[in-house]
Each structure stands twice: as structure tokens, then as C-alpha cells.
A and B are shown apart, each in its own frame.
Chain A
Amino acid sequence: GAGVSQSPSNKVTEKGKDVELRCDPISGHTALYWYRQSLGQGLEFLIYFQGNSAPDKSGLPSDRFSAERTGGSVSTLTIQRTQQEDSAVYLCASSPDYDNTQYFGPGTRLTVL
């Protein structure tokens, strides 16, 4: 079956612009996670959704970052007024409610010039 998909796969933007990153989880998965991996760093937790609600937003690095999930499915991560330090690979993962295993998408590589 289809796995987690993310779009775009690559995004180059200018400092100060807003970007939207999209995640399509595996159908039926109730939990959705956003992470980012900066160059040479491990995975950094950003936010977690259970259904459409986000019980844990503690990983969002600043108020320029926001995320939403609609219909218990697609999620969008928005970064406003991008900065160069936002450059990273943004990974989305989903998991079913009976399993701890997270299934990751291929990521979106964001480059802020």
C-alpha cells in the first residue's frame, strides 16, 4: 500500500518568505509527527497530532512555526518569515493507534538562502 508522502521533495526559498510543507500519512493512521534533521544532527521532534488535535507542540522552535491537520489526514507545516537556520530536512511520520511504530515519509529538503 501507499506509504507516507511529502511534498515538495525540495524547496528553495529566500530568507523572509513563508513556506508550506505537506504530509499525507498512511490512510487510517491516527497519529502524525513532524521532525526535522539539520545537517549533521539527529532527528528533532517538532509536533505530534492525534487525530486533528496537537497534544504536544513543545518541539516547535519558535512562533514562526505552526502546523495543522485536517480531517484526521493531511497535515501542513508552515514556517513564516523563514531564516537560514530553518534549512533542514523536514520529516513526517504516521502511526496507527495500535502500534508504536512510526512510518516515515521521504522528507522535504528546505534550503533558505
Chain B
Amino acid sequence: DIQMTQSPSTLSASVGDRVTITCRASQSISGWLAWYQQKPGKAPRLLIYQVSSLESGVPSRFSGSGSGTEFTLTISSLQPDDFATYYCQQYSSVWTFGQGTKVEIK
């Protein structure tokens, strides 16, 4: 299976900060990557698919980039509603997720 490794595991930030989360694949996944946001007790919410396509209704402060094996999710200006755990997912072969990045209030 393709392993997805996110960094950092935990990120402490303040409202207004620019935040970047990295996801690395153990082999090339081309552009088959999505990002999700999950809040406690809730289902994940799709933010971005195909590396950089913003899901309908998702604020434009979220963006994605990358190719091959390295990808990033960027939040341009962190808002109070953004404190959550973020997961990447590859769907190149057997679908796998990263271990998650928890964005905490600094």
C-alpha cells in the first residue's frame, strides 16, 4: 500500500496565521490527492480534491498544491472555525489516509 505521512502531527497557531500542512506519499500518486477537515465527533469534510480543486462551499483561504509525492494544504489566514484535524487521502491505488494533523490554538 502507499503510505501517506503528514507533518507536523500537531500544529499550534493563532487566528490570522498562515498555516501549511505537508503530506508525503511513499511513491508517486500523480494528482490523486484530497484533503479533509474533521472536527471532534463529526464526519470528515472534503476541502480539496485532485490536489488543488476547491470543493464547493469551502472558503478560498484553503488551497492545495503539489505533485508526485509531496503535497501541501495551506490556510492563508487561520480562522476560529479552522481549528480541527486535517487528513490527506490518496486514491491512486488502494486508498489510504495520512495520520492527521491537529491544528490547535496557540
| A and B interact physically | no
Q: Which residues of B contact A (CB under 8 A)?
A: none
Q: Which residues of A contact B (CB under 8 A)?
A: none
